[in-house]
Structure 1
Amino acid sequence: MTGSDLTPAALTADQRAEHAIDLATRAGRSLGLEAGEPRVLHNVFNVLVHLAPHPVVVRVPSLAVAPVEEQAAKQRRELAVAGWLADRGAPVVAPSPLVPREPVELDGRSLTFWEFVAETDPLSAVTDPEVLQKRFTEQTGWTAELHALLAEHPGDDLPVLSPVVPAVGLTLAALAENPHPLISPGELDRARQEYAVLETLVQDLPARFPGARLQTLHGDSPAYNLLRTATGHLFSDFEDATRGPVEWDLTLVGPLGIEEYERVSGTRVDRALLDVMEGARFLQIVGALALAPLKPDLAPMLEPAIDQWRARAPLGLENLG
């Protein structure tokens, strides 16, 4: 990906929703789903469209900048991991059984189809910080249970830490071509140096952290990607499914969450590796500024985390074991 890939005009939230409904409806019809009442459930990086009255949700990657072939390859990994879990009765949002477990490519986008889930007590409704902390602590304990299930997944065809390498390198390269005022040239140099450190880590992670448990992972902070329903919780959004240390899935859950994870799993989290993974997570957020031309309100959303990245000591080879 280069800066030229980020040239599409920015759309408003309403325009992204309207475009996503059109794509989802046409893709659904191609599979025999005549949805007469489509409605948007979520609209941030992806737009989720419920093809009502069918119990089907279409995920439309509204900010996708990668070629459609790369989108589809990533989604096939997601469908395979989420489907593998669903087939074993794991608490996950499952691929829709009404259509094949394959992405549908349409107008330069690759769409996936999922079971509709009625969420109760959504995260957006929580305003009390203490309640929010309690929820994340509990959900991090559930992440330990998810990891125990994923430890049985073969994962042989999954790349190691693919949300970091090469993904962050690509977004930082795009950011270098189209700088954003929120990041100074010196800070971008720091980010690229940190990325080089992470490339070194991914090349041979077991040598740097011999005690690391490499396994199939959710890939995108599962404690934050979870729906509460009337019958229990369901993990969702496995689009960054990858192989790596469990610490990657535990970034930014806080000390209480880590303690709960250790209590439920019966294993100790490597604090040094967790710190490196959190540095990688913050770097991922810095790279996400490359998408700001497509979503004008994105930079203010990212700024608090970028401030935290600035306050951290830079990642260096000395951090790697």
Structure 2
Amino acid sequence: MTTFLTPQQHADRTGAAVAAAVAAGRGLGLTVTDPTVLHDVFSVVVHLAPSPVVARIPTVLPRPNDLAAIARRQQDELDVARWLAGQGIPVIAPSPLVPPEPVRRDGFSMTFWLFVEEARGKEPDYVANAESVADLHAALRAYPGRRLEFLSAADPRFIADSLALLDRHPDLIGAAELDRARREWRILEPLVRSRGAFEARFPGIDLQPIHGDSPPANIFNAVDGDLYADFELVTLGPIEWDLAALGPEHEAAYNRGARRNGTRPLDEEVLAFVNALAMLRVIAALSLVPQLPRLMEYLKPAVEHWKTTPFAAGISG
């Protein structure tokens, strides 16, 4: 039977993350007297008040003890966000008050960001956000940073490990569904693991730096205007990955943005691939439910939808 994190254990984890961020912030010379948790799902996000600095501490992770790997991804995020800010792109930037690098403290790896006042009460417009992602992609094409890994945002190791682990958790997924997911993964895995295999299957599809984590859902409503945020999964890949599983309305909005700025529209075959891959990441995310029990209420509808979709989006092995 699966053992789930209790509310007290969750509170203890959050408290430990906040304490680590406060200690790290003070160690960097920040004044911190009133730390305030702004967000607590996959990461604990804490305003180190009164300093205008926000610390983000990942806490729900496939491999929480691999701090070196976490820090490598965080450095990519800091680098691309700092570069975008320097180009005048509206983005939440790393804090200028501390060095732009991850900090390890008490078993956590964290990053520090400029505090931005949220426009509370403003409902996000995800369709408009999807259109604006074409502008973000246009900017990212010029990113000169060190080489990003191909589709690292899909995290094929996480998918493979999770599909193996879920055998031991029949209360999270049924045997028939797990069997289907594994058969789909056998078809899709080579296209994720190998850039060459992807390019052979989808000739002519250009690859570029992309956000990696559904940017229409990661645009922050600031008092002074919307800002791109949360580049934790920044990667090299097809633009379609950033629209995965969002549906026709958002795809059409993106294409409007692409026409406006002269970049290419979404490719239907690549969309089918990334949509199927995104659904397998949903199945894999079931393995994280013991760390974050309320995640199940968000994943369950997606799993039910996945059951109605064509096998591996019609892609043949």
Give yes or no for TM over 0.5. Answer: yes
Residue type matched to 1:306 in 2?
V
Q: Which residue of 2 aligns with 1:257?
A: 250
**Residue of structure 2 equivalent to 1:92:** 91
Deviates more, 1:287-296 or 1:184-193: 184-193
Cα deviation for residue 10 of structure 1 reads 4.7
SS of structure 2 residue aligned to 1:315: helix
Tell me the secondary structure at the aligned position of residue 38 of structure 2. Answer: strand
Taking the aligned partners of 1:108 and 1:314, their CA distance within structure 2 comes to: 41
Hey, what does 2:54 align to over in structure 1?
57
Q: What is the RMSD of the two structures over their aligned residues, measured on CA atoms? A: 2.2
- Aligned residue for 2:223? 230
1:117 aligns with 2:107: no
Distance of 2:4 and 2:187 partners within structure 1 = 32
Matching residue of 1:129: none
Q: 1:320 to 1:114 in 2, by over 3 A?
A: farther
> Is the 8 Å Cα contact of residues 5 and 293 (structure 2) preserved in structure 1?
no
Q: CA contact under 8 A between 1:11 and 1:295: conserved in structure 2? A: no
Query: For residue 47 of structure 2, what is the amino acid of its counterpart?
Result: H
Aligned length: 305
Q: 1:167 to 1:155 in 2, by over 3 A?
A: farther
Paired residue for 1:219?
A: 212
| Counterpart for residue 183 of structure 1 | 173
Rounded Cα–Cα distance in structure 2 between residues aligned with 1:11 and 1:69:
28
Distance 1:175 1:157, change over 3 A: farther
| TM-score (normalised: structure 2) | 0.89
Q: Distance in 2 between matches of 1:70 and 1:156?
A: 16
- 1:303 maps onto 2:293 in alignment: no
5 Å matches for 1:15-94? 15-66=12-63, 67-94=66-93
Q: 2:102 & 2:94 partners in 1: Cα distance?
A: 11
The amino acid of 1:194's aligned partner reads: E
Q: 2: CA distance between counterparts of 1:305 and 1:167?
A: 18
Report the 3-state secondary structure (helix = DSSP H, G, I; strand = E; otherwise coil) of the residue aligned with 2:153.
Answer: coil
**Superposition map of 1:133-144 within 5 A:** 135-144=125-134
Q: Post-superposition shift, 1:189?
A: 2.3
Counterpart-to-counterpart distance in 2, 1:227 and 1:142: 13
SS of 2:70's partner is helix
Q: In the TM superposition, what is the alpha-carbon distance from 1:270 to its structure 2 partner?
A: 0.9
Structure 1 CA distance for aligned equivalents of residues 110 and 304 of structure 2 = 34
* Equivalent runs, 1:154-169 vs 2, <5 Å: 154=144, 157-164=147-154, 165-169=156-160
Q: Does the 8 A contact of 1:155 with 1:216 survive in 2?
A: no
- Do 1:11 and 1:294's aligned partners in 2 also have CA atoms closer than 8 Å? no
Instruction: Tell me the percent identity.
Output: 42
What's the CA shift for 1:63? Answer: 1.2
Deviations 1:108-138 (A, max 9, x none): 211111111111145xx64xxxxx6xx1110
Aligned with 1:37: secondary structure? strand
Unaligned runs of 5+ in 1: 1-5, 127-131
The question of whether the paired residues in 1 share the 8 Å contact of 2:166 and 2:173 is answered with no
**Cross-structure match for 2:237:** 244
Partner of 2:289, secondary structure, is helix
Q: Give the equivalent residue in structure 1 for 2:187.
A: 197
Is the contact made by 1:140 and 1:253 (CA closer than 8 Å) also made in structure 2?
no
Amino acid at match of 1:199: E
Q: 1:293 aligns with which of 290, 295, 312?
A: 290
How far residue 20 of structure 1 moved from its aligned partner, in angstroms, is: 2.1
Q: 1:182 to 1:227 in 2, by over 3 A?
A: same
**Cα-to-partner distance string for 1:248-301 (whole Å, 9 max, x where unaligned):** 001233222211211121232111211211111111111111111112222122
1:268 is the counterpart of 2:253: no
User: 2:315 matched to 1:319?
Assistant: yes
> SS of the counterpart of 1:163?
helix
Counterpart of 1:170 in structure 2 is 161
Provide closer, same or farther for how the CA distance between residues 195 and 251 of structure 1 changes in structure 2, counting only shifts above 3 A: same
Q: Secondary structure at the match of 2:60?
A: coil
Other-structure match for 1:152 = 142
